A and B are shown apart, each in its own frame.
Chain A
Amino acid sequence: MMPRKTVVEGSMAVAEAVRLCRPQVISAYPITPQTHIVEDLSKMVADGELRCEFVNTESEFAAASVVLGASAAGVRTYTATTSQGLFLMFEVLYNIAGSRLPINLTCANRAVSAPINIWNDQQDSVSLRDAGWLQLYCEDAQEIHDFQPIAFKVAEDPRVRLPIMTMMDGFVLTHTYEPVELMDQELVDSYLPAYKPVVKLDVAHPLTFGAFAQPNTYHEIRYMLNRAVMGAKPKIAAAFKEFNETFGRDYAPFMEEYRSEDADVLVLSLGSVCGTIKDAVDELRTEGQKVGLVKLRMHRPLPKAELRKALDRASVVAVVEKDISMGQEGIIATDVKSAFAGHDGPTVLSYVAGLGGRDVPVPDVKKVFKEAAAWKGRQAPDDPIWLGLNTGIIPEVQ
């Protein structure tokens, strides 16, 4: 069949991909800007286009618990949320990872309260990095569409058995229309066969799930969870490779390198802002500057060796991210620095940018490249650098 290239809303790009993956149970609770995804999916169920149990719950906590129960009972499951909803799910999400259930969750990245704010940054999903979920970030609607079968395939691999989150920036991607080449059902079916759980709740083979682990076993069970997350890396690479071959795409699994080969100053970022950064890189390149972008796609597991390889040649790496570990710096910046601990490497700067939907325009990105060049050969500052800070509205006294 011919690929169906069309203009769709980002949320529909996800919903359509999820439909093609044939989930058997979806459970969700509405929260801006995730709403269009679950509205689209519930309409597909109502119209008979998707044969699936769709469970509307009274909270995100319940939605995560519903997909947990459904996954333990042996079916393919999906949920979507963001921000406060993700935070309300936190206890369940750690439990899902510890229970090794292959649930697929889309996070429509949004700032967290307080102050309450419905617009985009990535504080929500980045805060979940330690739970045992695999985490992939998307730049555009095509990526979020394509990454759904990859997510299910990796999560459900009997050698992986881990939950996975794909991230799309709220509003910037969820509520904008883009041309997307939609996948074909037959190809998705061939790429993603029906889910075959290794164990499940079954009266014919009664098993106990979620037993109480004491100090003599807990340590080892957590070791095994980390081993599984680390071990997922080659499986993710293989799933991307097979996807590229099946669907004619060209995704690098862990990160995308943009004009970075000979770059002296690099920006590392993730999500939709990478589109803007690519424009800034192009403009600076025409001015003859050796700059480039490394777009981090996979945050967990952290591809440390690949990060070293991609960033090593530069003198300075400015990590531009929409999150912060309060009292420290940007979380991705810390992770990038950890990849170079004990190695000679570039100066790594932490830039906090675009929180709560603040726009990050091309001139700001160009400013980052210019400033970053001045840090060549120097020790990076201890404090993060805040991009586009309007000091005029900040009181002097704490």
Chain B
Amino acid sequence: MTQTTPEAATPNAATAKAPAGKPKTLKEGYIPPKERLFAPGHRGCAGCAELLAARLVIEAAGPNTIIANNTGCLEVTTTPYPESSWGVPWIHSLFENAAAVASGIEAALIAQGKKEGINIIAQGGDGSTVDIGLGLISGMMERGHDILYVCYDNEAYMNTGVQRSGATPFCASTTTSPSGELSFGNMRPKKPMPEIMAAHGIPYSATASAAYPRDLQKKVKKALSIKGPKYLHVHVPCPTGWYAESADTIKIGRLAVETGLFPIYEIENGVVTNVMKPKKRPPVEDYLRTQNRFKHLFSKEGGAEVVKQIQAIADKNAQRLGLDSK
């Protein structure tokens, strides 16, 4: 396994209770690589949170699951022919069509009378989800397929070399929205994907983070227990594309949630529920300083003003979701 992120889950604010079945030794609970649903030895970067999250998702979903995967880092790093990390039936077709491919799989299982007990997951990165694949995901949601769509959001087109997407945050520098004499980077805020999905009237739309593994796995299980279309938007820090330390993945992921820049919550039948409230909300600067994609905000004239605007985004999230209320 190339990833160096700490795998042991640390309880978060929402689930601050030690699980009963926690392994006491390294040997206990060990699963040989070949028996895993997501095998190590893939080609993810050091500190990749997307692959960590993808493993957590499939381990929560279990073996009776079929996955349709968009093109992207997750696909490229896990299935270089003739190798595969996947221990479940898995299909990749194109960059933007996992939601429609999954729709076809569901229709085929229904036609064969084999849908009962089988989970179908469509998944992809933020570019394939909020940009090029949005129409196909909207179609899947509107048609009411019994499918969970998972977006792994690392906030840019990382597989092609850190180009901005509709999920790139305000004033992050990317290779196609670079900071410069006349620019602070990406001048647009993130597309509100969980709300766009919820607006389809689906029963479940939620956010999660690779930095909170138990919360993520709980949500996968919860989503799969609900019949109909579900959406899960998972924040997955990318040290390579965020120009950050690979050992800091989890720390950065937590700061995104704690500052209010990536709030964690569920939308059940249109109603916001189970908001994860940080004990104390640190200033966004604590988050921004961990990544060099925001470096220009601290070296360029006028940067302090932009940091204030980013703080305002976090404060607005806090107000909207009641992050500061006890």
Q: Using CB atoms and an 8 Å cutoff, list the residues of chain A in contact with chain B.
A: 24-25, 27, 52-53, 55-59, 61-63, 65-75, 77, 91-92, 95, 99, 201-203, 205-214, 217
Closest to A74 in B: B108
Query: Are A214's CB and B139's CB within 8 A?
Result: no
Is residue B82 contacting chain A, with contact meaning CB distance below 8 A? Answer: yes
Closest to A101 in B: B93
Is residue B112 contacting chain A, with contact meaning CB distance below 8 A? Answer: yes
Q: Which residues of A contact B92 (CB under 8 A)?
A: 209-212
Query: Are B76's CB and A69's CB within 8 A?
Result: no
Closest to A58 in B: B139
Q: Choose among A66, A92, A99, A203 the residue that contacts B89 (Cβ–Cβ < 8 A).
A: A203
Q: Which residues of B contact A208 (CB under 8 A)?
A: 79, 84, 86, 90-91
Taken together as a complex, chains A and B put the C-alpha atoms of A292 and B112 apart, in Å, by 50
Q: Which residues of A contact B109 (CB under 8 A)?
A: 73
Looking at the assembled complex, report how far the CB atom of B14 sits from the nearest CB atom of chain A, in whole angstroms: 31
Query: Are B94's CB and A95's CB within 8 A?
Result: yes
Closest to A26 in B: B107
Query: Are B101's CB and A69's CB within 8 A?
Result: yes
Taken together as a complex, chains A and B put the C-alpha atoms of A71 and B108 apart, in Å, by 8
Interface positions, chain B 71-94, Cβ under 8 Å from A, are 75-76, 79-84, 86-94
Looking at the assembled complex, report how far the CB atom of B216 sits from the nearest CB atom of chain A, in whole angstroms: 22
Taken together as a complex, chains A and B put the C-alpha atoms of A209 and B110 apart, in Å, by 21
Q: Which residues of A contact B118 (CB under 8 A)?
A: 203
Query: Are B104's CB and A58's CB within 8 A?
Result: no
Q: Choose among B110, B112, B136 the residue that contacts A65 (Cβ–Cβ < 8 A).
A: B136
Query: Are B139's CB and A209's CB within 8 A?
Result: no
Q: Which residues of B contact A75 (CB under 8 A)?
A: 108, 111-112
Q: List 11 A-B contacts (CB under 8 A).
A: A24-B111, A25-B108, A58-B136, A65-B136, A67-B104, A68-B97, A68-B101, A70-B104, A73-B105, A99-B93, A201-B66
Q: Which residues of B contact A217 (CB under 8 A)?
A: 81-82
Q: Choose among A25, A67, A99 the residue that contacts B111 (Cβ–Cβ < 8 A).
A: A25
Query: Are B108's CB and A214's CB within 8 A?
Result: no
Closest to A96 in B: B93
- Shortest 6 CB-CB distances between A and B: which pairs? A69-B104, A65-B100, A73-B108, A210-B92, A69-B101, A58-B139
Taken together as a complex, chains A and B put the C-alpha atoms of A74 and B112 apart, in Å, by 9
Query: Are B80's CB and A69's CB within 8 A?
Result: no
Is residue B102 contacting chain A, with contact meaning CB distance below 8 A? Answer: yes
Interface positions, chain B 106-135, Cβ under 8 Å from A, are 107-112, 118, 135
CB within 8 Å for A65 and B89 given contacts A55-B104, A58-B136, A208-B84? no
Is residue B63 contacting chain A, with contact meaning CB distance below 8 A? Answer: yes
Query: Are B136's CB and A69's CB within 8 A?
Result: no
Taken together as a complex, chains A and B put the C-alpha atoms of A24 and B115 apart, in Å, by 14
Q: A-B contact count, CB below 8 Å?
A: 157
Q: Which residues of A contact B88 (CB under 8 A)?
A: 203, 206
Q: Choose among A27, A59, A210 the residue that contacts B104 (Cβ–Cβ < 8 A).
A: A27
Taken together as a complex, chains A and B put the C-alpha atoms of A27 and B112 apart, in Å, by 16
Taken together as a complex, chains A and B put the C-alpha atoms of A127 and B68 apart, in Å, by 29
CB within 8 Å for A92 and B108 given contacts A58-B136, A59-B139, A61-B136? no
Taken together as a complex, chains A and B put the C-alpha atoms of A95 and B104 apart, in Å, by 15
Taken together as a complex, chains A and B put the C-alpha atoms of A27 and B106 apart, in Å, by 12
Taken together as a complex, chains A and B put the C-alpha atoms of A77 and B103 apart, in Å, by 13
Taken together as a complex, chains A and B put the C-alpha atoms of A91 and B90 apart, in Å, by 20
Q: Which residues of A contact B68 (CB under 8 A)?
A: 69
Closest to A210 in B: B92
Looking at the assembled complex, report how far the CB atom of A224 sits from the nearest CB atom of chain B, in whole angstroms: 13
Q: Which residues of B contact A77 (CB under 8 A)?
A: 104, 108
Taken together as a complex, chains A and B put the C-alpha atoms of A207 and B90 apart, in Å, by 6
Query: Are B105's CB and A69's CB within 8 A?
Result: yes
Is residue B309 contacting chain A, with contact meaning CB distance below 8 A? Answer: no
Is residue B64 contacting chain A, with contact meaning CB distance below 8 A? Answer: yes
Taken together as a complex, chains A and B put the C-alpha atoms of A66 and B120 apart, in Å, by 14
Looking at the assembled complex, report how far the CB atom of A155 sits from the nearest CB atom of chain B, in whole angstroms: 16
Of B64, B65, B84, most A-chain CB atoms within 10 Å: B84
CB within 8 Å for A53 and B108 given contacts A99-B93, A203-B88, A211-B81? yes
Query: Are B107's CB and A53's CB within 8 A?
Result: yes
